Amino acid sequence: MPKKANHTKSQILLTQPVGTGSLEKGFLTAHELWALIEPLAQAVWETDANGQVRVDSPTWRAYTGQSLGDWLGEGWGSAVHPHDRDYALSQWQQAVRHRTPVNAEFRIASPDGSWQWTNVRAIPVYQADGTVGKWIGLNLDIQDRKRAEQTRRKSEESLMAAAMGTYVWYVEEDRGEPDEQMLQLFGLPPEGTLNLTAALNSLIHPQDVPAYMQAVKQAADPVGNGQLRQDIRVIQPSGQTRWLSIRGQMFFRGMPRQANRLVGSAIDITDRKVAEEALRESETQFRLMADTIPQIIWWFDADGRNEFFNKPWYHYTGATSQPLTAEEVTHRFIHPQDRPLTLAAFAQARQQGLAYQVEHRIQSAAGTYRWFLVRAEPYRDPQTGAITRWFGASVDIDDRKLAEEALLHSEAGYRELSTKLEQQVQQRTQQLQASVVDLQRSNENLQQFAYVASHDLQEPLRKIQQFGDLLKSQYAQTSGEALVYLERMQSAAARMSVLIKALLNFSQIANQQDTRIPVSLAQVVRDVLSDIDLLRTETQARIEVAPLPVVEGDARQLGQLFQNLLGNALKFRRRDTPPVIQVKSERVIRHELPAGVKPARQVEAYYQIEVIDNGIGFEEQYVDRIFQIFQRLHGKSAYAGTGIGLAICEKVVANHGGAITATSQPGQGATFTIYLPA
């Protein structure tokens, strides 16, 4: 039984009557035409002159599933779809009655019980006396074409391009007799000519000429079967290139046999070739992508037969051949302890049709094993839903597994370390609690000192000053050293009282709780200026205050800050020049702070406040010393003071999260710069 040919886009132009005599000027004998069309059709058959089936057709019965008894006579009609049966019978009866060729399309039964579209073509075969001796016909499978038409996925151009052309080539004369469709496939006009020489010289692609000539040579070999099968590219006169599938049968004559003529056909397969090339390109790109991924990529068919491994698989395992099945991969490369779990996971996934994931060790080319995480997903046929492939990837997780094992082995060590840390925390907590107690005791002592300083120490000084005043009033008329000693005693007592008050202020600031409320520095400075107004008048000082910001802090402490800075600016003035003092402010961001400035609290921005005077100045090498308690750069006789004022300033600024620094040159005044959080 001939093998079915697949013509999803084809039509046979079987439209010319055939004679039973010899071939003259291209007139085919029934035998020659049969040799041409039989390999191309799904079924070929013949009837008598009246259209009755008298001869068996194995290809028809294989195509439709009918028995011989059902086929004979007009029984073939029972294989036609009920909706198409009347049409098919009427077309056949009309053709027999008028002796015209048949070209009809309808549905017929398949052996599996489904219906399939077929194109039936038949022509009468005339006898020598001009009467019809029989009819010969064929069936072409047009199921795919019909489906494409119904879904409108195929354009008219692609359907036209798929048409079949036929030809006869006379070998000795190199003369061709193509039909119109054959000429169209070669891009030639209907009145054109086509022979082998012309085709080789200008129409067949140069790269395909050697293979086509070899195929023609083999077909002309009398010891062969005379068949021609070759796909070629045709360069049409318009410049367009099309792929054609050439099929033919060589006929011989004489003894010894000589090639006489080649009867054949051609089908445009450009779309198929383009699709095949696109598929090859897609597969090439996929394989390139898969080979460049630093992971092992693979897939198996539905039965577990291997179809692909990418290059990382071969690089890692050192395998030189492709394993055939999943079982072979498991037994050759998977660690013996991991094989049962791997096979069980794959078997369960195939049974349930679900993705699976497993961790196992794979042997390397060096014989060592590394852990891999394997995950595979099933791919289902879009039409049937059946699983056709398993796509998977194997990811190296050996480092993670080693870390997990190390973590498990070190749990005891971590527990011991945790216990030790807990003991150390308890010990440190006890130490901190003891420090808190000491700090509370220290604060209490400071509070007691402040009380003593403000009461107990001040009381004797007040008595000394009072008794000194009494003695001076009684001996006011007395002169000499006694009165000098008395005045020196009272002066020392007064300085002692001032020093005690200064120490009290410093201790109170050091022990002050953090208070943060909005404070207007402009108001603070106005209050200070009011307090020193008399001194400002006496020294003829000019004090310029620019707009100042509002900050969070303690108004009393900030008042002490500016009281000391402005008081010092008036105190350390030049004798020959009236004091000029400037107070100004600007906002700066953190990275703009000078390198040596380290505020007590880190924020994004600060207020930079400068107090600038034109006084006597000082050497900058003493800038750190002046902020220390009891540190003086001048003698008591030259400038009065306790040496605590600037230490109080530094403490106030620190309490407010800022910093203070100074710049100066002797005789050129000084600039004290304060940085407070904005």
More confident residue, 557 or 491: 557
Q: What was the pLDDT predicted at 452?
A: 65
Model pLDDT for residues 384-439, shown as the tens digit of each residue: 888 988 988 899 999 999 988 888 877 777 778 888 888 888 888 888 888 778 77
Q: What was the pLDDT predicted at 3?
A: 35
* Average pLDDT value for residue range 435-445: 74
* Average pLDDT value for residue range 454-465: 69
Measured CA angle at 163 (ends 159, 165), to 5 deg: 165
Phi, psi (deg, nearest 5) at residue 117: -80, 135
The secondary structure of 563-612, three-state, reads: HHHHHHHHHCCCCCCCCEEEEEEEEEEHHHCCCCCCCCCCCCEEEEEEEE
Number of residues that this document lists for the chain:
678
28-37, 117-126, 566-575: lowest mean pLDDT where?
Answer: 28-37
Q: State which CATH number among 3.30.450.20, 3.40.50.261, 3.30.470.30, 3.40.1160.10 fits the domain covering 18-154.
A: 3.30.450.20
Does the pLDDT value for residue 12 go beyond 50?
A: no
Model pLDDT for residues 68-104, shown as the tens digit of each residue: 999 999 899 999 999 999 999 999 999 899 888 888 9
Rounded-to-integer distance, Cα 350 and Cα 390, Å: 9
Q: What was the pLDDT predicted at 245?
A: 93
Torsion sign, CA atoms 226, 227, 229, 235 = positive
* Average pLDDT value for residue range 430-456: 72
Rounded-to-integer distance, Cα 144 and Cα 6, Å: 10
Element (H, E) at 430: helix 411-451
Does the pLDDT value for residue 262 go beyond 70?
A: yes
More confident residue, 203 or 322: 203
Average pLDDT, the chain: 82
> CATH topology of 18-154 equal to that of 157-274?
yes
Please report which confidence band the pLDDT of residue 481 belongs to, taking 50, 70 and 90 as the band edges: confident
More confident residue, 96 or 484: 96
Rounded-to-integer distance, Cα 549 and Cα 470, Å: 51
Q: What was the pLDDT predicted at 677?
A: 94
Does the pLDDT value for residue 150 go beyond 80?
A: no
- Which superfamily, per CATH, for 157-274? PAS domain (3.30.450.20)
Q: What percent of the chain has pLDDT over 70?
A: 83
In 10 A of CB 277, how many CB atoms?
Answer: 11
Give me the residue label for tokens 């996925």. Answer: 153
Q: What percent of the chain has pLDDT over 90?
A: 36
Model pLDDT for residues 248-258, shown as the tens digit of each residue: 999 998 888 89
- Are 386 and 380 in contact by the 8 Å Cβ rule? The answer is yes
* Average pLDDT value for residue range 493-507: 68
More confident residue, 415 or 236: 236
Does the pLDDT value for residue 445 go beyond 80?
A: no
- Which superfamily, per CATH, for 293-405? PAS domain (3.30.450.20)
* Average pLDDT value for residue range 629-639: 60
In 10 A of CB 641, how many CB atoms?
Answer: 20
Rounded-to-integer distance, Cα 628 and Cα 649, Å: 10
- Are 26 and 177 in contact by the 8 Å Cβ rule? The answer is yes
Q: What was the pLDDT predicted at 1?
A: 33
Rounded-to-integer distance, Cα 263 and Cα 176, Å: 10
Rounded-to-integer distance, Cα 578 and Cα 372, Å: 87
Please report which confidence band the pLDDT of residue 108 belongs to, taking 50, 70 and 90 as the band edges: very high
Please report which confidence band the pLDDT of residue 220 belongs to, taking 50, 70 and 90 as the band edges: very high
Q: What was the pLDDT predicted at 503?
A: 66
Q: Which of 5-19, 363-377, 433-447 has the highest mean pLDDT?
A: 363-377
Q: State which CATH number among 3.40.50.720, 1.10.10.10, 3.40.50.1370, 3.30.565.10 fits the domain covering 514-677.
A: 3.30.565.10
More confident residue, 29 or 302: 302
Model pLDDT for residues 526-579, shown as the tens digit of each residue: 999 998 888 898 899 999 999 999 999 988 889 889 988 999 899 888 888 899
* Average pLDDT value for residue range 364-380: 92
Does the pLDDT value for residue 621 go beyond 90?
A: no
Q: What was the pLDDT predicted at 617?
A: 87
Model pLDDT for residues 294-346, shown as the tens digit of each residue: 889 888 898 888 888 888 999 999 988 877 788 889 999 999 999 999 999 99
**What does the domain layout of the chain look like in residue ranges?**
18-154, 157-274, 293-405, 420-506, 514-677
More confident residue, 160 or 108: 108
Q: What was the pLDDT predicted at 548?
A: 95
241-250, 317-326, 627-636: lowest mean pLDDT where?
Answer: 627-636
